[in-house]
């Protein structure tokens, strides 16, 4: 099956909802709104197109479901550009919260544990959720209490930067806990 490449025109169709412009408007009568938002009244479509042509603007159907449909006089090219710009800005301002993982072993040394704690704090301050995993190997699995103490110690050292979202639980040979940043908890 051939791969379809998205051209610029196809991307713009996704950005801007499809509006009928000028000759594509099919209604007999329209309610016309001026360039600055002033009401020009209900009139036949031909008269509205003539007004648009005289003002060197486009006639754009903005409310197709209304009776009669609402059309507006505006520069359609400029309108499309501004809508695309607004959508790009909206996408830019969205922060995607990721789930990041910090892995520990039951026999971790104090210095290594502190380094992992600093890493988790940095991720939480960046706005990401942190999944803290204690990985057991071999016969270490017979002592899940060691893993539980590690996770409790991690929670205690990060209590000002994080809140516990998911309690520690066993998942196969791993013990998992999820921490979420305190700032996102306040906004909810």
For residues 5 and 56, the model is more confident at 56
Q: What is the pLDDT of residues 48-100, one digit of tens each?
A: 899 989 999 989 888 888 888 999 999 888 888 988 898 888 888 777 778 99
Q: Would the CATH topology of 8-84 be identical to that of 99-187?
A: no
Question: Which pLDDT score is estimated for 179?
Answer: 94
Q: Return the percentage of the chain with pLDDT > 90, whole number.
A: 45
Domain borders along the chain are 8-84, 99-187
CATH number of the structural domain 99-187: 3.30.110.10
CATH number of the structural domain 8-84: 3.10.20.80
Q: Are 180 and 163 in contact (CB under 8 A)?
A: yes
Calculate the alpha carbon distances from 128 to 20, 59, 99, 142, 171 in Å: 43, 47, 6, 32, 22
Question: Which pLDDT score is estimated for 24?
Answer: 85
């Amino acid at each position: 099956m051939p791969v379809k490449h998205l051209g610029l025109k196809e991307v713009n169709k996704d950005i801007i909802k499809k509006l009928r412009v000028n000759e594509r408007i099919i209604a007999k009568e329209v309610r016309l709104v001026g360039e600055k938002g002033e009401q020009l009244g209900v009139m036949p479509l031909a008269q509205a197109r003539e007004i648009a042509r005289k003002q060197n603007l486009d006639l754009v159907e903005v409310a197709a479901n209304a009776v009669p449909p609402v059309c507006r006089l505006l520069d359609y090219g400029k309108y499309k550009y501004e809508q695309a710009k607004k959508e790009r800005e909206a996408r830019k301002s969205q922060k995607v919260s990721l789930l990041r993982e910090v892995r520990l072993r039951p026999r971790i040394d104090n210095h290594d544990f502190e380094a992992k704690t600093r890493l988790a704090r940095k991720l939480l301050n960046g706005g990401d959720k942190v999944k803290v995993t204690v990985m057991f190997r071999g016969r270490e699995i017979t002592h899940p209490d060691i893993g539980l103490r590690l996770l409790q110690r991690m929670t205690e050292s990060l209590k000002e930067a994080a809140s516990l979202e998911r309690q520690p639980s066993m998942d196969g040979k791993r013990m998992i806990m999820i921490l979420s940043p305190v700032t996102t908890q306040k906004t909810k």
